[in-house]
Structure 1
Amino acid sequence: MRIAFAFTGAGHLLRESVQTAVKLSEEHEVSVFLSGAAEEVLKMYGLYESVVSITGGKYRELATDSNQKSSYPITGRLSLGKYDLLIVTPATANTVSKIVYGIADTLVTNAVAQAGKGAVPVYMVPVDIHSGPIDTVLPSKMELSKCQNCDECVAALVCEQGAIIPRSEIDLTKCIGCGLCRNSCPYDAISEGKIITIYMREIDIENTRKLTGIDNIQVFKNQMKSWKKFNFSIFFV
């Protein structure tokens, strides 16, 4: 199979999505599509290199908003039916709302639009599908309650990206999730993988409902299973 696997800029279900892409790449040709936000967020969570590692070669490209410019030429393959499946996970509320209202101004939303024109099935896992609270995982975070205001911040000194702002915060636009800062701080003032509870907005939940009405799109809540047509079963756990 030839699969286009698209990531958007959500942290929720991101690690599980990367695991799914890696698993699929073992048996299928997987091209990775990254929105601009996805590229940033994958680095924050230390997952970018895992995604890059499954690319390389024809139908195993790494396509991004930046390298595809404004015309997104790689999405033309979807309109021509050259991919068997497009997977979008995790799908942010922003991506979902654009798809629902026919806006195709990013690599990922354009890919979905072209998949519709090429009769290519689209499997999506929107993050804003559950009513009520959900638990999600944060990238690296400075815990100021534990920070001892050291004269020389060891975490800042070891950070090769210059992402640590001593006694303040982590600049996540520079962070690559390597964990050096967390491992070096003697006061455990930097956390990684902290669980927080968030609440979905009703407008985002409603847009996800509308997504299910688009003919070639199948929406999954928190797992993809029994994709018998394509002879594989992948579970989010």
Structure 2
Amino acid sequence: MSNIHYKSEKLLQFYSKHRNSWDSLYPSERWVFDRVVRELEQNNVLHILDVGAACGGLYSALKERIDQFDYVGLDINEAMIEWAKQNHDSPNAKFECLDAAALAETQFPSNLVVSLSCADWNVETHSILDACWKQLRPGGQLVISLRLTNLESINDIERSYQYIDAIDGSDVESRGEKANYVVLNWRDSLQMLADLNGAETILQYGYWGAPSSSAVTEFERLCFTVCAVRKSVDEDFRGSPRCELHLPQDLFDSPSTARN
């Protein structure tokens, strides 16, 4: 199954101007990247695959922190990929228009695979995660953003969605296209990551926040979280991954005692 092919011009207008520097990344993203990059740089030249790259803003952001790396950015939106090709002139950066759901059919071996605001914004969350994992070399890390709750998981575009045309915070009369606004129970998120074959460690860093103003969802607050999962160098590794969680304590409250 393919993902929804979002066509709104608001995506290009927004991502060509925003989230294109280190300081414009969310605190959770900067925290996790600092940890992961420091670890991977010790023994490797970084080969980064960015799934859901939009206009390549992450490439610009990481250039401020990393001296040398190879980068491949993938996105389903052709207009954003064309913008990225025209505005990122570097032999170390490549951009390609590709549906993340079709990633398993291609080869982009990398030691850092990143998917921010992609798997939790699409109908094929699990298949995107699995496809990203298959591109990851042993010893590498997968960095992915998720929205967490201590209530039930919702992966249903009829119950939880975001209006694409209002992504910039504008109040438009016709809100048009909808994106899936996936929210996972924290236990479900850990199980989903632990089920990745060879997952050796799981790192999560997040904090409470209000849902996007352009989102329609049943939740009053969400724990916006960035995760990093390391793939074992041992192909026969079948143990339980070690987890390091930097999350609000009340995220772990039972639903009966938690406020939505």
> What is the TM-score of this pair, normalised by structure 2?
0.35
* Higher relative contact order, structure no. (Cα contacts within 8 Å, ≥ 6 residues apart): 1
- Which is strand-richer, 1 or 2? 2
Determine which structure has more spread, i.e. the larger CA radius of gyration: 1
Q: TM-score, normalised by structure 1?
A: 0.38
